[in-house]
C-alpha cells in the first residue's frame, strides 16, 4: 500500500510573481516624457531632412508603445486567478515583452533598408539641428531610463520597455556624433551610418527579448537552472529511491514551477520527505511553486533499485 498524500502544492504566494516594486507611476511618467519629445522630434527630423532623427522618432514611438503595453500587461497580470485562468493572466507580461522584441526587429529591417538607400544617394542634412535635437534626446532618454530602472527589472515585461529606452539613448548618442560630423565636415552619409548603428543595437535587444519570451512560452526550464541538477539534488535525499516525471518551467518572470513524482522507502514518512524536498527547492534553486507526488516505493522496485550502482540511482 502506498503511503503519504498523493499531491502537494506547498504553501505558495502566487502574487509574488508580480513584484510590488513594479511601480506603474514610474512607467507612466516615462511614457509621458517620451510622447512629448517624440512629437517634437518628428517635426524637427523632417525639417532637417535627417533619417537619423526620424528613425530615432520611430524608435521612440516603439518606446511609447512598449511602455503602454507594459502598463497594460502589468494591470492584467495583477488580476487574481479565477475561472479557467488558474494562474491568472501573468503571462500577459511575457506577451508584452515578446511584442516589444518583435517590434524592434521589424524596425531594424525598415531602418536598414532606408539607411542603405541614403548611403547610395545621401540627402542634404541640417547638421546643427540634428545635433541639438539629439542632445536633448539624450537627456530625455536618460530621465526615462532612470524612471524605469526604479521599477522591477526582473520582470521581462519591464526589462523589454527598459531595453527600448536604453537602445534609444544609444541611438541619440550616435545621432549626435553624426550631426557633429555633418556640421563640421559636410559628410552627409554620417547620418545613414548612424542609423545603421542604431539598427544593430535594436537587433541585439530585440533578439534577446524574443529569445527569452519564447523560452517561457515553450515551457523551457528557467535560464541558468539545470533540471538534471535539480533531479539529482532531490534523489540525493537518503530516503528517496527514485525521482521521475520531473518538469521545470517558468510561468512568468521570476515565477518558476516544478512537478515531479518521488518514491521513498517503505515505512518512511512521505510528508516529512516532501517537506524536506520543498525546502531544498526553495533554498537551493529558488523554486517556490513545487507540486510533488510522493509515494512509497513498491518492494520489488526497491530491490531492483538497490541492486544498481549508487551512481545510477541518482
- Residue 16 pLDDT class (50, 70, 90 cuts): very low
Find residue 242's DSSP bridge partners: 263
Q: What CATH number does the domain located at 227-313 have?
A: 3.30.300.30
- Structural element, H or E, at residue 247: strand 240-252
- Residue 61 pLDDT class (50, 70, 90 cuts): confident
For residue range 73-83, what is the model confidence (pLDDT) as tens digits? 777 777 777 87
User: What letter does residue 259 receive in the DSSP assignment?
Assistant: E
Contact in structure between 222 and 248 (CB atoms under 8 Å): yes
Residue 273: per-residue pLDDT:
93
Residue 18: per-residue pLDDT:
38
The pTM score is 0.69
- Residue 120 pLDDT class (50, 70, 90 cuts): confident
Contact in structure between 4 and 274 (CB atoms under 8 Å): yes
Q: Is the pLDDT of residue 8 over 80?
A: no
Give me the mean pLDDT over the 297-314 stretch. Answer: 55
Q: Is the pLDDT of residue 164 over 50?
A: yes
The dihedral region occupied by 237, where left means phi > 0, alpha psi between -120 and 50, and beta the remainder, is beta
Is 219 or 167 the better-scoring residue by pLDDT? 219
> Collapsing DSSP states into helix, strand and coil, what is residue 311?
helix
Contact in structure between 70 and 148 (CB atoms under 8 Å): no
Name the CATH superfamily, with its identifier, for domain 18-217. Answer: Cation efflux protein transmembrane domain (1.20.1510.10)
Phi and psi of 65, rounded to 5°? -65, -40
Of 76-80, 148-152, 189-193, 284-288, which has the strongest mean pLDDT? 284-288
Q: Is the pLDDT of residue 233 over 90?
A: yes
Phi and psi of 287, rounded to 5°? -95, 110
Q: How far apart are CA 127 and CA 181, in angstroms?
A: 8
For residue range 237-267, what is the model confidence (pLDDT) as tens digits? 999 999 999 999 988 877 889 999 999 998 8
Give me the mean pLDDT over the 60-79 stretch. Answer: 77
Residue 310: per-residue pLDDT:
52
Residue 35: per-residue pLDDT:
87
Q: What is the mean pLDDT of the chain?
A: 79
Residue 9: per-residue pLDDT:
43
Give me the mean pLDDT over the 281-294 stretch. Answer: 91
Domain boundaries, given as residue ranges, for the chain: 18-217, 227-313
Q: Beta-carbon neighbour count of residue 50 at 10 Å?
A: 34
Amino acid at each position: 500500500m502506498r503511503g503519504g498524500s498523493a499531491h502537494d502544492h506547498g504553501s505558495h504566494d502566487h502574487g509574488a510573481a508580480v513584484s510590488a516594486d513594479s511601480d506603474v507611476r514610474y512607467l507612466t511618467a516615462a511614457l509621458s516624457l517620451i510622447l512629448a519629445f517624440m512629437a517634437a522630434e518628428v517635426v524637427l527630423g523632417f525639417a532637417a531632412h535627417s533619417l537619423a532623427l526620424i528613425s530615432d522618432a520611430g524608435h521612440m514611438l516603439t518606446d511609447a508603445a512598449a511602455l503602454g503595453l507594459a502598463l497594460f500587461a502589468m494591470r492584467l497580470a495583477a488580476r487574481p486567478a479565477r475561472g479557467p485562468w488558474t494562474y491568472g493572466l501573468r503571462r500577459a507580461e511575457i506577451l508584452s515583452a515578446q511584442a516589444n522584441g518583435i517590434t524592434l526587429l521589424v524596425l531594424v529591417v525598415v531602418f536598414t533598408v532606408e539607411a542603405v538607400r541614403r548611403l547610395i544617394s545621401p540627402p542634404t542634412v541640417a547638421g546643427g539641428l540634428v545635433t541639438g535635437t539629439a542632445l536633448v534626446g539624450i537627456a530625455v532618454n536618460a530621465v526615462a531610463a532612470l524612471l524605469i530602472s526604479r521599477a522591477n527589472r526582473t520582470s521581462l515585461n519591464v526589462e523589454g520597455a527598459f531595453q527600448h529606452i536604453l537602445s534609444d539613448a544609444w541611438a541619440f548618442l550616435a545621432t549626435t556624433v553624426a550631426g557633429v560630423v555633418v556640421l563640421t565636415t559636410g559628410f552627409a552619409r554620417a547620418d545613414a551610418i548612424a542609423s545603421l548603428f542604431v539598427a544593430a543595437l535594436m537587433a541585439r535587444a530585440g533578439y534577446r527579448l524574443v529569445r527569452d519570451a519564447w523560452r517561457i512560452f515553450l515551457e523551457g526550464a528557467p535560464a541558468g537552472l539545470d533540471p538534471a541538477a535539480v533531479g539529482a539534488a532531490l534523489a540525493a535525499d537518503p530516503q528517496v529511491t527514485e525521482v521521475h516525471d520531473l518538469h521545470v518551467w517558468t510561468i512568468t518572470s521570476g515565477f518558476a514551477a516544478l512537478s515531479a513524482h518521488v518514491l521513498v522507502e517503505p515505512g518512511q514518512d512521505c510528508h516529512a520527505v516532501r517537506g524536506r524536498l520543498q525546502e531544498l527547492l526553495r533554498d537551493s534553486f529558488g523554486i517556490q511553486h513545487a507540486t510533488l507526488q510522493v509515494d512509497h516505493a513498491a518492494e520489488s522496485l526497491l530491490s531492483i533499485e538497490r541492486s544498481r550502482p549508487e551512481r545510477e540511482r541518482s
